Amino acid sequence: MAIPAQAPSGDGGGVGPTVERAGVDGRFGYVVQLARDAFVELDGDSTVTCWNPQATRLFGWSGSEALGRRVVDFLVPPRFASVFLEQLQATAAAPGLIGAGRGRRLQLVHRDGHELEVSGSAYALGQGPTLRVGAFLRDLAEERAAEEALAHAYLHDSLTGLPNRTLFTYRLAYALADGQGAAGHVAVAVLDLDRFKAINDALGHEVGDELLVAVAGRLIDADGVAEVIARLGGDEFLILFAGDDAEGQAVAYAARALQALAAPFAVGASEVFITASIGVACTSAGVTEATSLLSNADAAMYQAKQRGGGTTEVFGEAMRVKLLDRMTTEHSLHRALERCELRLFYQPVVDIAGEQPIAVEALLRWDHPEQGLVGPNRFIPVAEESGLIIPIGAWVLQEACQQLKSWQARAAAPSGSVEVNLSARQIDHPDIVGTVEQILADSGLGPSYLTLEITESALMSDAAAALEVLRALKDLGVTLAIDDFGTGYSSLSYLQRFPLDILKIDKTFVDELGIDPDGSEIVSAVIKLAHTLGLQVIAEGVETEAQLTELRHLGCDFAQGYLFSRPVPASELVAAHRPAAAGPRASGPR
């Protein structure tokens, strides 16, 4: 109980007279009416002279019930009544603003009998019969609840109610400080759902959200000992473990979480199966900081994804070495472009009947200052992950188009078209069509002389998006090929809808020719399928005469492989060139 006896010095001056002049029916009346707080004004006898609707809401008494009654008879708990009246009189001695701010607390009684603690600000004006003490009051419990809700919203994910990144970061910092960097004392698990984007796109965001909530529920159910299970946003969750065997607990939890996710989810009108990739990392000699712990767990999760998902990887020494190697490669790859260390090699594609070259495939090499010539399989994955494939891919296109144009201008070998590989990242890039168009225009190469190769897996990973890009590329007049066919999982319906011209059978199937009778059957079936769809067929990686004979027998159109030539630099290709009559390969019938 604390109606103050003294006005705080210096902040009452200007307010009192303004209120006094306004009068309850004028502007002051509106202010009181509109205030978010309860407003109660008393005379020197504690009789209510003003009572606003919020006061009714707070105390349960209507205005007509309260006005004219002494608050010591109904609002102030009887045990405080006499002290209250004493303090009320004392305020008359110090008029002005009293108790501004939330510091002043008062115990009052609700109409239903329960006591509530209120806080607020008050003023005192006049003396004797004209004394008026008014107070704006608010329920402290309500205010505390609002503050708690705000703090909760700041630290939790609104969709699942799980702790968010901010709270996770606090808890991780605390656990690390607590463990004082001891090896194995803190472990984090990063869990990322596999193919969540596809589900979200196919079933809609609402179903996606429903699924995330259900996943969060199962992750909590699978828990026993985690410090925090947090959602980072999207489909990524973070789980923190601390204690003597944090890593063991994290690994055991990961196994339980994968199992918990295995049962189907009933969301929307569908039943959905989902798996997750989990990466686990824990503190060790060199890893005592939150950032390195999290990036190690991320790397492990990424590794789990690369293994096809639905599994857990623990960050260890081998992964550290690999990561370091990756970072070094990425670092020097950045400079490879600037330092002109990239080269294109060319491998002819021959017409299977006459064995004349009808095209060349441009294949990237990195002339590394220390390691010599490096093949694309060693650095293209890094270029793709880091996004460097965009400028590198543009360079490849430009170089290949210019090279063919210059051969054409000198009537030097090889005639025909040039095939350039595009990676999935390039297909996803919003500028891909504009880039190809620009490079064709800059080089002056006719679009029918350019074939773009896209692997089956790149095409099928987001077939709907790829379809649009392929149609736009096709409109430029270029030829389109599906590369490494047979290594991915093609949707036949998309295969039919993609505006493709050429299908390249992967080397692994060509390898089987003449060895395994089933191998011939498969190649034969693929060739028939391609021809039915109006596609011409190139067999990749032809190394032996026997394979060539079999391919001819099976009706394959073109071949490429060491039997004819390895990929060679442009200068060597010219030297090896046998003049041929072939022109640009006609685009497929569609």
What residues make contact with ligand C2E under the rule CB under 6 A?
347, 363-364, 375-377, 380, 393, 396, 421-423, 453, 483-484, 507, 540-543, 560-562, 567
Of 109 and 542, CB closest to ligand C2E: 542
Of 97 and 390, CB closest to ligand C2E: 390
Number of residues in contact with Mg ion under rule CB under 5 A: 5
The continuous run of DSSP H or E covering 450 comes out as strand 450-455
Q: How far is the CB of 203 from ligand C2E (least distance, A)?
A: 32
346-354, 395-403, 482-490, 563-571 -> range binding Mg ion (CB under 5 A): 482-490
The continuous run of DSSP H or E covering 364 comes out as strand 357-368
Q: How far is the CB of 538 from Mg ion (least distance, A)?
A: 9
Q: How far is the CB of 530 from ligand C2E (least distance, A)?
A: 16
Q: What are phi and psi of 30, to 5 degrees?
A: -65, -40
Q: How far is the CB of 542 from Mg ion (least distance, A)?
A: 12
- Which residue in this structure is represented by tokens 């004797």? 128
Of 296 and 417, CB closest to ligand C2E: 417
Taking CB within 5 to 8 Å according to partner kind, which of Mg ion, ligand C2E, none is near residue 423? ligand C2E
Q: What's the order of all strands across the beta sheet hosting 186-193?
A: 228-233, 236-242, 186-193, 276-282, 312-314
Cα 357 from Cα 417, distance rounded (Å)? 10
Q: How far is the CB of 455 from Mg ion (least distance, A)?
A: 7
Q: How far is the CB of 491 from ligand C2E (least distance, A)?
A: 21
Taking CB within 5 to 8 Å according to partner kind, which of ligand C2E, Mg ion, none is near residue 246? none
Taking CB within 5 to 8 Å according to partner kind, which of Mg ion, ligand C2E, none is near residue 336? none
Q: How far is the CB of 181 from ligand C2E (least distance, A)?
A: 43
Taking CB within 5 to 8 Å according to partner kind, which of Mg ion, ligand C2E, none is near residue 396? ligand C2E
The two tokens of residue 561 are 């492989």
- Which residue in this structure is represented by tokens 């604390």? 2
197-205, 386-394, 449-457, 555-563 -> range binding Mg ion (CB under 5 A): 449-457
Q: How far is the CB of 353 from ligand C2E (least distance, A)?
A: 19
The two tokens of residue 181 are 């960097």
The two tokens of residue 532 are 């039915």
| Cα 293–chain centre separation | 19
Taking CB within 5 to 8 Å according to partner kind, which of ligand C2E, Mg ion, none is near residue 363? ligand C2E
Q: How far is the CB of 572 from ligand C2E (least distance, A)?
A: 14
132-139/115-125 β-pairing? antiparallel
Of 157 and 484, CB closest to ligand C2E: 484
Of 84 and 366, CB closest to Mg ion: 366
Residue 363 makes CB contacts below 8 A (sequence gap 6+) with 344, 345, 346, 347, 376, 421, 567
Q: Is 456 in the site for Mg ion (CB under 5 A)?
A: no
Of 451 and 520, CB closest to Mg ion: 451
Cα 446 from Cα 455, distance rounded (Å)? 24
80-88, 335-343, 402-410, 447-455 -> range binding Mg ion (CB under 5 A): 447-455
Of 91 and 423, CB closest to ligand C2E: 423
Of 229 and 432, CB closest to ligand C2E: 432
Q: What's the full length of the chain, in residues?
A: 590
- Using CA atoms, how far residue 196 sits from 33, 208, 235, 310, 589, in Å, is 52, 8, 7, 12, 37
Q: How far is the CB of 541 from ligand C2E (least distance, A)?
A: 4
Taking CB within 5 to 8 Å according to partner kind, which of ligand C2E, Mg ion, none is near residue 260? none
Sequence-distant contacts of 52-55: CB under 8 A, at least 24 apart: 55/137
Is residue 439 within 8 Å of 405, Cβ to Cβ?
no
Q: How far is the CB of 327 from Mg ion (least distance, A)?
A: 28
Q: Which of residues 164, 249, 421, 426 is near Mg ion by CB under 5 A?
A: 421
236-242/186-193 β-pairing? antiparallel
Q: How far is the CB of 586 from Mg ion (least distance, A)?
A: 20
| Cα 330–chain centre separation | 22
Task: Please say whether the dihedral angle defined by the alpha carbons of residues 408, 411, 412 and 417, taken in this order, is positive or negative.
Answer: positive
Residue 302 makes CB contacts below 8 A (sequence gap 6+) with 277, 279
Q: Is 121 in the site for Mg ion (CB under 5 A)?
A: no
Of 91 and 421, CB closest to Mg ion: 421
Is residue 333 within 8 Å of 391, Cβ to Cβ?
no
| 3-state helix vs strand vs coil in the chain, percent to 5 | 45, 25, 30
Of 481 and 527, CB closest to ligand C2E: 481
Of 133 and 363, CB closest to ligand C2E: 363
Q: How far is the CB of 466 from ligand C2E (least distance, A)?
A: 15
Q: Is 484 in the site for Mg ion (CB under 5 A)?
A: yes
CB neighbours of residue 286 within 10 Å = 9
Cα 90 from Cα 95, distance rounded (Å)? 9
Q: How far is the CB of 153 from Mg ion (least distance, A)?
A: 52
Q: Which of residues 453, 456, 550, 557 is near Mg ion by CB under 5 A?
A: 453
Of 347 and 490, CB closest to ligand C2E: 347
- Using CA atoms, how far residue 221 sits from 33, 167, 193, 194, 258, in Å, is 50, 20, 17, 20, 12
Which residue is closest to ligand C2E by CB?
A: 561
Of 210 and 453, CB closest to ligand C2E: 453
Of 312 and 560, CB closest to Mg ion: 560
Cα 565 from Cα 543, distance rounded (Å)? 9
- Which residue in this structure is represented by tokens 């980072």? 232
Cα 463 from Cα 432, distance rounded (Å)? 16
Site map (CB under 5 A) of Mg ion, residues 505-544, x = contact: -----------------------------------x----
Cα 586 from Cα 407, distance rounded (Å)? 19
**Residues forming a β-bridge with 346:** 362, 568
Site of interaction with Mg ion (CB under 5 A): 421, 453, 483-484, 540
